[in-house]
């Protein structure tokens, strides 16, 4: 068991500083491909963060030249079994859902390539900042495999026609296009990536934890609702948020022209 835990720690490195948790995928020679062990490590980390009140923001990063090249095709090809593949993709889907359901924002820090399930990771994160040389694709079609699960996240970030074009043509898009299409938030020079991510994470970490937690959950749930239902739900969330000590403190600080001190 200790050996298994050590392996997971090697595959995924966690760093905590000033309310910001960085999870760094650590298979640089494999371009951080998502092996079974890597998926397990990520799932365990997000499950732990979900109940960690000290975490205000998460940065998901990859070691080496690439962010993530998707599933580990070598490992996948060694299992010609339907039950295995169904379980594997279900685990991957659970991970992506866990990112969205996490009560704090997740920022993807992207360099090199983000392909297939790696592009899915970017699309599943709440925010994404990339090097201006980064490239993105859902290129499973090149090996006879339609990127069905990445399509779920991708099509919720970019328009249907753009997403479908990427899925059936395996075309790569550059970082500037990814910004224009809404897949990522910013593209910066390579030497500025860490600073840009740190600024965004620090900005989020400085906000009211209670408001952020209310807001992230509300944001995704209301998107699935009819307009009237969404407003009913959002109104109720705001009312409960206003009852929080942080909201009282924030309003008093604004009126008193001072910086708020969050307590939640």
Q: CA-CA distance, 14 to 91, in Å (whole number)?
A: 21
Residues 6+ apart with CB under 8 A from 179: 185, 186, 187
Q: Is residue 25 scored above 90 in pLDDT? A: yes
What tens digit of pLDDT does each residue of 152-192 get? Answer: 999 999 999 999 999 999 999 999 999 999 999 999 998 99
pLDDT of amino acid 1: 44
User: pTM surpassing 0.85?
Assistant: yes
Model confidence at 6, in pLDDT bands (50, 70, 90)?
A: low
Model confidence at 250, in pLDDT bands (50, 70, 90)?
A: confident
Q: Is residue 84 scored above 90 in pLDDT? A: yes
Q: Is residue 232 scored above 60 in pLDDT? A: yes
Q: CA-CA distance, 192 to 82, in Å (whole number)?
A: 44
What tens digit of pLDDT does each residue of 55-79 get? Answer: 999 999 999 999 999 999 999 989 8
What tens digit of pLDDT does each residue of 124-159 get? Answer: 999 999 999 999 999 999 999 999 999 999 999 999
Q: Is residue 82 scored above 60 in pLDDT? A: yes
Q: What is the mean pLDDT of residues 36-62?
A: 97
Classify residue 135 by its DSSP letter: E
Angle between helices 117-124 and 82-101 (to 10 degrees): 20
Residue 142 CA from chain centroid, whole number = 25
């Amino acid at each position: 068991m200790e050996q298994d835990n050590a392996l997971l720690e090697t595959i995924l490195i966690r760093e905590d500083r000033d309310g910001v948790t960085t999870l760094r995928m650590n298979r640089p020679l494999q371009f951080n491909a998502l092996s079974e062990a890597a998926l397990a490590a990520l799932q365990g980390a997000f499950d732990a963060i979900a109940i960690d009140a000290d975490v205000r923001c998460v940065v998901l990063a990859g070691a080496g030249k690439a962010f993530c090249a998707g599933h580990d095709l070598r490992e996948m090809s060694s299992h010609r079994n339907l039950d295995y593949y169904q379980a594997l993709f279900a685990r991957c889907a659970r991970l992506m859902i866990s990112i969205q359901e996490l009560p704090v924002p997740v920022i993807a820090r992207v360099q090199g390539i983000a392909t297939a399930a790696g592009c899915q990771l970017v699309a599943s994160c709440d925010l994404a900042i990339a090097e201006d040389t980064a490239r993105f694709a859902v290129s499973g079609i090149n090996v006879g495999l339609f990127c069905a699960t990445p399509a779920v996240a991708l099509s919720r970030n970019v328009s249907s026609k753009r997403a479908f074009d990427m899925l059936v043509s395996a075309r790569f898009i550059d970082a500037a296009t990814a910004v224009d299409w809404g897949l990522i938030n910013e593209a910066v020079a390579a030497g500025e990536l860490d600073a840009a991510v740190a600024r965004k994470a620090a900005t989020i970490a400085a906000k009211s934890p209670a408001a952020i937690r209310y807001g992230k959950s509300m944001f995704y749930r209301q998107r699935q609702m009819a307009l009237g239902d969404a407003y009913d739900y959002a109104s109720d969330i705001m009312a409960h948020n206003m009852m929080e000590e942080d909201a009282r403190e924030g309003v008093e600080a604004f009126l008193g022209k001072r910086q708020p001190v969050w307590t939640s």
